[in-house]
Amino acid sequence: MIDNSSLKACLESWPRLLTRHLKRRILRSQANTEVEVLMPSGGCVRGYPTLEVIAGEIGDLSALKCLDLSYCGLSGELPPSLGNLTQIEYVDISYNDNINGSIPPELGNLVILVSLNWSANSLIGKIPSELGFLSNLVDLDLHNNKLFGPIPFTLYHMTDLEHLYLDHNYLEGSISKNIENFKKISFLSITNNRFTGHITIALCCLPTLEILTKIK
């Protein structure tokens, strides 16, 4: 694990960290409920020190609205404490190849979340049905992981979705006719999975759909 002195140096180096509060404090050892934006994205691939894991203490940042940890070389599992970030609207933890484990069902608590991107990791397991509680979600990107099982029925309750990326996983089962609930969707990518059955005619009735990737 990274020690406090290294983490402090890393935080002070990140040019995209848009709040002075976290620069003064150590995330792993002292909670800061005033932080609203945490965006060190990409800093860890440009020669800055790297954060090894996402600490469970991140859930103490109760005012956080935007979290971007993409391209940071992170590993380990996603902490369930992410479900404590009930004010968050934007989460991007994509392109960290060694983030593994399952998607915490506690994410269903983030009911004002608008965008969730966990693509290009090594997440495994089923998509938790609790994600269907995210009724304000517009963008959901889980492509290029190791997710399996059917698309949970609750996902079809996310009627504000405009972009859905589930491609390059091991999802199986059939595509429910309830996909017709996605009245606002414009981009749907579900290729390179293990779906079976017939292609539902409901896909042809989505009024705003512009791009549908090949189903395989």
Query: Quick one: pLDDT band at residue 127, thresholds 50, 70, 90?
Result: very high
Please state, in angstroms and rounded to a whole number, the distance separating the CA atoms of residues 188 and 211. 6
> What number of other Cβ atoms are within 10 A of residue 175's Cβ?
22
Which has more confidence, 203 or 138?
Answer: 138
Give backbone dihedrals phi and psi of 124, rounded to 5 degrees, phi first: -130, 160
pLDDT at 38: 64
Which string of b and e fits 45-73 if b means at least 16 CB within 10 Å?
eeebbebbbbbebbbbbebbebbbbbbbe
What is the spatial distance between Cα 119 and Cα 115, in angstroms, rounded to a whole number? 12
Q: What is the mean pLDDT of residues 93-103?
A: 93
**Tokens for 162?**
């405009």
If pLDDT is split at 50, 70 and 90, which confidence band does 34 have? low
User: Which pLDDT value is given to residue 72?
Assistant: 83
pLDDT at 6 over 50: no
Q: What is the mean pLDDT of residues 18-44?
A: 45
Does residue 111 carry a pLDDT above 50? yes
Question: How far apart, in Å, are the Cα atoms of 80 and each of 66, 103, 105, 109, 137?
Answer: 17, 9, 8, 11, 19
Q: Which pLDDT band, with edges at 50, 70 and 90, does 210 fall under?
A: low
Mean pLDDT confidence for 17-42: 45
Q: Which amino acid is at 105?
A: P
pLDDT of residue 151: 96
The pLDDT of residue 213 is: 66
> How confident is the model at residue 206, as a pLDDT?
74
Q: What angle do CA 153, 157, 161 make, to 5 degrees?
A: 115
Q: Tell me the mean pLDDT in the region 97-114.
A: 96
Average pLDDT over residues 124-130: 97
* pLDDT beyond 50 at 23: no
Nearest 5°: CA angle at 146, between 145 and 150? Answer: 110
Which tops the pLDDT comparison, 31 or 211? 211
